[in-house]
Amino acid sequence: MEKNSLSKDIKFALEKSMAIMPSYIVLGIGFGVMMSDAGYSWIWPVLMSVAIFGGSLQFAAVGLLSSGASVLTTAIITLTIHARQFIYSLSMLDRYKGMGKLKLYLIYGLVDESYSLVSSDSIIPKNVNKKPYYVFVTLFDQIWWVIGCAAGGLLGPIIPFDTTGIDFAMTALFVVLLLEQILNNKERRPAYLGIGVTFLSLLIFGEEIFLIPAIIVITFVLVMLRGKIKIEEEGEE
Amino acid sequence: MIDVQHSLILIAVMSVLTMAIKFLPFIIFPGGKETPAVISYLGKVLPPAMIAMLVVYCLKGVSVFTAPHGLPELIAVAAVVALHLWKRNTLISIIGGTACYMILIQAVF
């Protein structure tokens, strides 16, 4: 099959990326507003959206920064919240082979939402060149995020209503992503396992460190269930 | 007043560690080598489990034993699910659920 021209690939990447643009802008604004309420100008959320580039950690960072948390606490929270990034990178090892220097940007830009777009092979038609697709999806995603964070930071001081609870946007996003996983996959045990183990881990280990034991147990159980669990490639429709 | 220097240090810590986590698998399994089958398998089954874990993570601060007993969160999550099953539109579900939650904790509970 004849491959697309670069401009067609870029257009396709933009089209896919548009699906997550609204939620990224809303979440970014939520984060920017929280930073603004904590006394940080719009430059801070923008800096963090480039330096950290990870929504969940950035939301947690608002509390860390404004309370003057220690370096150790910050390090532990970063490792706990972003442990899943290790898993994302693991699953992109094969797909990102032969990407040259662009691989550095792709790895840096591998966040929850871009991961969902680059790791689902079935949403990429055969005539689309994967290399530009990966790069431009990642780039567009980050652009929406940076715009959202900047907008939130700028709007924060002038928003006329109480924004308490706006951080729920994060929860809502993950509930939607989980629901999509459950609706699109016949094999739902990994999702249920994730809920069950994490909840038990929270009860046993407490809020501070429960993510680490949860990740270890989930990974261990999934490895044990290998051969019994089959996830089909989810299709476009 | 915000502590600029300490804030910058914390952001640097978060940035460096995040990059370390993201790049580590590519350093352990450099390009050209075959990725072990078990790792490829985990790449497929872990994402739904991780997303489920994040939902629990987001709700970790909810206290069931003290008022309002996690009711705002329960109602708002139910609203997100209902909206999403109805319209299947991510933006509507997120904005609707968040607005519902903000109203509940500011005006109702």
Q: Under an 8 A CB cutoff, do B50 and A194 touch?
A: yes
pLDDT at A126: 82
Chain B, nearest residue to A78 by Cα: B14
Predicted-complex ipTM score: 0.85
Give the pLDDT band (50/70/90) at residue A235.
very low
CA distance B22 to B32: 19
B51 or B96, higher pLDDT:
B96
Domain, as residue range, for A206: 185-237
Measured between beta carbons, which residues in chain A are less than 8 angstroms from residue B39?
90-91, 93
Q: What is the mean pLDDT of residues A49-58?
A: 91
**Residues belonging to chain B:** 109
Contact present, A49 and A109 (Cβ < 8 Å): no
What confidence tens digit (pLDDT) does each residue in A60-92 have?
Answer: 899 889 888 889 889 988 887 788 788 888 878
Mean pLDDT over all residues of chain B? 88
Chain A interface, best mutation among B33, B45, B62, B89, by max A CB count within 10 A: B45
Whether A30 is covered by a domain: the verdict is yes
Q: What is the mean pLDDT of residues A157-177?
A: 83
pLDDT at A231: 63
Contacting residues for A15 by C-beta, under 8 A, at least 6 apart: none
Domain, as residue range, for B17: 4-108
Which among A165, A193, A227 is the end of a domain?
Answer: A165
B63 or A220, higher pLDDT:
A220
Query: Does the pLDDT at position A236 exceed 50?
Result: no
Contacting residues for B99 by C-beta, under 8 A, at least 6 apart: none
Whether A58 is covered by a domain: the verdict is yes
Q: Under an 8 A CB cutoff, do B26 and A103 touch?
A: yes
Q: How far apart are the CA of B101 and the nearest CA of chain A, in angstroms?
A: 6
**Residues belonging to chain A:** 237
Contact present, A109 and A142 (Cβ < 8 Å): yes
- In the structure encoding, which two tokens stand for residue A93, read together? 């090892």
- A125 and A202, same domain (yes or no): no
For residue A95, give the nearest of B18, B52, B29 by alpha carbon.
Answer: B29
What confidence tens digit (pLDDT) does each residue in A95-126 have?
Answer: 888 888 899 999 999 988 788 778 766 677 88
pLDDT at A128: 86
